Amino acid sequence: MAVKIRLARRGRKKAAMYDVVIADARSPRDGRFIEKIGRYNPSTDPATVIIDEEKAFQWVMNGAQPTDTVRAMLKYRGVMYRKHLQLGVNKGAITQEEADEKFAKFMEGRDSQVQAKRDRLAAEAEAEAKARLEAERKVNEARAEALAAKKAEALAATAAAEAEANAEEAPADAEGDAPAAEEGQEG
């Protein structure tokens, strides 16, 4: 029986998640499987890869063939490099201690790269949020200035209208006062 390490899809439409499974090569994609060894979520950045590395290593050493996508994930998690080192130990090219030391060094380098990417993404998101807030602040200031200018125009228009009304009332009052004064002199 040919055994494959492959992905089995789950999740809703356009929001796929995958299980990493050990399955017979003849079984359907989402069908029967032998063992589930992990999960893969490509929607996150960086993609979430959770694999039981010990089980994956055992299956790879026993001859299970990973698909291209799963092979890339196993390389990312260091399983394929560990297999490479273990084959060297089995052939007698290196000792187990040397292999363990090389693998530990590889994992430290990989972990630092992943953390650097996470830090870079977080810094970019923070800078983007800061830029958005700055742009929003500028828009709000422009709106406030426009509103203040409108209020000043309205006050000036109101003052002008009141001045016109007062100017119209003043001559009318002056004309109205003159006949009253004349009446008072006559009487």
CATH assignment of the domain containing 13: 3.30.1320.10
Based on the fold, state whether residues 17 and 82 are members of the same structural domain: yes
Tens digit of each residue's pLDDT (9 = 90 or more) over 59-85? 999 999 999 999 999 998 889 999 999
How many domains does one find in the chain? 2
Based on the fold, state whether residues 62 and 15 are members of the same structural domain: yes
pTM of the model: 0.61
For 65, the domain range is 3-94
Q: Which segment of 78-87, 129-138, 173-182 scores lowest on mean pLDDT?
A: 173-182
Using CB atoms within 10 A of its CB, is residue 5 exposed (0-12), middle (13-18) or buried (19+)? buried
Based on the fold, state whether residues 154 and 112 are members of the same structural domain: yes
Under 8 Å between Cβ of 63 and 1 = no
Provide the pLDDT for residue 66. Answer: 94
Tens digit of each residue's pLDDT (9 = 90 or more) over 16-64? 999 999 999 888 888 889 999 999 999 987 788 999 999 999 999 999 9
Under 8 Å between Cβ of 63 and 40 = no
pLDDT surpasses 80 at 155 = yes
Question: Which of 48, 76, 94 is where one domain is finished?
Answer: 94
Based on the fold, state whether residues 121 and 88 are members of the same structural domain: no
